[in-house]
Chain A
Amino acid sequence: MTTFLGVPTRRLAGPDDEDPLRGSRPFPAAAADAVRDPVLRRNLRRATTTIRAKREHVVSEVADWEDLRDTGSAVKADVMARLPELLEQLESAVTARGGVVHWAADAAEANAIVTDLIRRTGADEVIKVKSMATQEIGLNEHLAEQGIAAIETDLAELIVQLAGDKPSHILVPAIHRGRAEIRQIFLERMADVPPALTDEPRVLAMAAREHLRRKFLSAKVAVSGANFAIAETGTLAVVESEGNGRMCLTLPETLITVMGIEKLLPSFGDLEVFLQLLPRSSTGERMNPYTSLWTGVTPGDGPQEFHLVLLDNGRTNALADSLGRTALHCIRCSACLNVCPVYERAGGHAYGSVYPGPIGAVLTPQLTGLTGGHDVNATLPYASTLCGACFDACPVKIDIPSMLVELRGRAVDAGRGGVPDGWAAAMKAASWVMSGERRWSVAETASRAGRLVAGRRGRISRLPFPLSRWTRSRDLPAPPAETFRQWWARTRGDDDAGPDAGNPPIAGTPAPRPAADGGDRP
């Protein structure tokens, strides 16, 4: 059943690794390939530029945006501090409403639970609504091995799945594909493709609608993630646009939701904050077209069997760290990706993890832990210019730049005593990348991060960090004294001045606030 869409089971493009949280190459090497791909760069540039403008527009019309961010941040800190009791509260609320709660310590356990639940229904096919948690555990691949076809129903996920590709963005997994490529993928891989397919986004979307309609109407089992789970009431929320989420959450007899333990909110009322923060940060809309909320099983309406799988898979590693745990506050809006100059150039695949971009650079190494100085994930904290744009964009105020600096410091500590020859250059490189960034010294965030770095400078200068591989990949004898931007401009040698170009105002320049009569006041 793995060829249900006429798709080869082996993926055609993308990283060659099989671990959803670890690539096969260090970030700099993978990024170097990406920056040499002009089509990829154009697609990324266009998409991130568009979405940045939309986000800024809808955020600027909310007069109390900063107050909402403060609350969002504080609520998430409270959730982390009370996680055990809130999880137990969620469990009893879901159970009281006819749902079944399962606990999964790692990916293998979660996959086994979901497989078993599907088997018991007798189904050999499930429909899926986009979910980071199931990507993180490699559920689709696992189900395929077990003879169960998992059909992605989100348009971008469908594109990625048809192409045998890997997602490259949290929100828009096919952001690396342009319309012409998508048309080609549909023509080659979609069994029932209309012959007159053009590359108009509307025509492509309608082809996907026809393609999936039959699947929706006959599906017996759906697998979803969750954007939020309310401990107090046992209510789960899925935020989406296309209606494929509603189809998955409403039509099948059995619904299986896989959710990271950090997705909790204490009370239903917290949605008054988070459903304001998420859509504006994510798609740059005042509200996303559809949000579905359900609590256990509702007799006569929707799936009559509901399972909730609570996933750890490394989250307790991050939780045990006073700084790192704030990475668990993430609501996966992807705003930090869209504003990141490094993401815009390198693309999502270079991070080697289902969590790319600034949040991926801090979350991924914490989820996996680092296996030593040669762990490719140790390179992720360097996938940043520390410009601070991610912190400013983050709706729950995660201080990603400070965390990156801290993780770099730890990479030094981890490598003590066994620094390979030739890494001295990388140590120097690391310190100039950080100290030479112009924006860094002028930005508000940077001044705070700057204190941290200064305090750590001795350690950072001893960094055995595989930045050497970056320089090696550029065939440089030794890192010259240049900034990230200069390096970029030189190695790209082309169309722009560097990572600054085309980016929105950064740290220290808050988004414009509407006049008293503007924005959302009628």
Chain B
Amino acid sequence: MSTREEMLGRIRAAVAAGAPLAGGCVPLEGDGPDLAVDGVPRRYRRTGDQPPGSPAVLDVLVDRLEDYRATVHRCAAADVARAVRTALGDARSVVVPPGLPDGTVDTAAPDAPEVVVDGRPEPLSAVALDRIDAVVTAARVACAVTGTIVLDGEPDQGRRVITLIPDRHVVVLRAEQVVQTWPETVALLEPTRPLTMISGPSATSDIELSRVEGVHGPRNLQVVIVDPA
């Protein structure tokens, strides 16, 4: 018998042997933990009370992002390139995914950074990416209450590695991509895509639990929120 069959057999026997008593597995009266196996209660909030992209939702997102020490830029649709340029700071080289909308990064300005498109013609190696100062991408969705931006690898976001190695990540979010609650966020995701959930720049609290922003991932997170026209 293979380990697989053996393990599954043992797990089946254990599940049967340890089946909870009717009404829960803790033999106590009163308000014990809800351990009923038939039917999972879902009383928590599953939707927000504010529509995606509404001013209240955007304000919460900005508050959360700034709490994480990300930098937020807000702009009108016509001003994206200018806001991105500000967000890029003194970066001299920028990588972008192949599907980033044209005009997001201004390449015409005399002091514009050098822009490299990942995958044209070849995907960049990790070592090559390590020499690039910044990355600019779009995102799939953002959650206001947790301050989380989710990337799902679509062509306007690119391979996971490009948003990992450069030290500065500029994310361009359209206001309507910002939802209020976490359940609304999860509902918008396609599970089988490679997903990266980002809540602020990389950080550690491993030394005496005091938070230090910026360890292995990008140390600098810049979020450009494009307000509705």
Task: List residues of A whose CB falls within 8 A of some B CB.
Answer: 43, 46-47, 50-51, 63-64, 67-68, 70-71, 73-75, 77-78, 80-84, 87-88, 97, 103-105, 109, 153-156, 159, 172, 174-175, 178-179, 182, 201-202, 204-205, 208-209, 212-213, 216-217, 230, 232-235, 241-244, 246-247, 249-251, 261, 268-269, 271-273, 275-276, 283, 285-296, 298, 300-302, 310, 312, 316-317, 319-326, 397-399, 402, 448, 451-452, 520-522
Q: Using known A-B contacts A71-B42, A241-B202, A250-B160, determine if residue A276 contacts B182 with beta carbons closer than 8 Å.
A: yes
B192 near A286: Cβ-Cβ < 8 Å: no
How distant is the Cα of A345 from the Cα of B174 in the complex, in angstroms?
50
Q: Which of B7, B147, B203 contacts A103 (CB 8 A)?
A: B7
In the assembled complex, B110 has its CB within 8 A of some CB on chain A: no
Query: Can you list, as one digit per residue, whether each of B16-58 has a CB less than 8 Å from chain A (1) or not (0)?
Result: 0111110001111110111111011111111001100000110
In the assembled complex, B130 has its CB within 8 A of some CB on chain A: yes
Task: Give the shortest distance, in Å, between B214 (CB) and chain A (any CB).
Answer: 8
| A-B pairs, 5 with minimum CB distance | A243-B217, A243-B216, A320-B14, A520-B145, A156-B206
Task: Give the shortest distance, in Å, between A363 (CB) and chain B (any CB).
Answer: 15
Task: Give the shortest distance, in Å, between B134 (CB) and chain A (any CB).
Answer: 16
Instruction: Give chain B residues whose Cβ lies under 8 Å from the Cβ of A291.
Output: 195-197
B10 near A269: Cβ-Cβ < 8 Å: no
A64 near B43: Cβ-Cβ < 8 Å: yes
Instruction: Give chain B residues whose Cβ lies under 8 Å from the Cβ of A217.
Output: 126-127, 130, 165
Which of B2, B20, B64 has the most A CB atoms < 10 Å from its CB?
A: B20
A290 near B147: Cβ-Cβ < 8 Å: no
Instruction: Give chain A residues whose Cβ lies under 8 Å from the Cβ of B222.
Output: none
Compute the total of residue contacts between A and B using a CB distance below 8 Å. 305
How distant is the Cα of A506 from the Cα of B2 in the complex, in angstroms?
48
How many B residues face the partner with a CB closer than 8 A? Answer: 96
Minimum CB distance partner of A183 in chain B? B207
Which of B145, B180, B207 has the most A CB atoms < 10 Å from its CB?
A: B207
A216 near B216: Cβ-Cβ < 8 Å: yes
B36 near A74: Cβ-Cβ < 8 Å: yes
B40 near A71: Cβ-Cβ < 8 Å: yes
Q: 19 extra interchain contacts, Cβ-Cβ under 8 A, other than A291-B195, A301-B159? A: A46-B209, A63-B45, A73-B35, A84-B12, A201-B212, A243-B215, A243-B217, A268-B189, A268-B191, A287-B143, A287-B148, A290-B202, A292-B160, A293-B197, A295-B191, A316-B11, A322-B21, A325-B18, A397-B33
Q: Which of A74, A172, A202 contacts B41 (CB 8 A)?
A: A74
In the assembled complex, B77 has its CB within 8 A of some CB on chain A: no
Query: Can you list, as one digit per residue, whether each of B93-135 has a CB less than 8 Å from chain A (1) or not (0)?
Result: 0000000000000000000000000000001001100100000
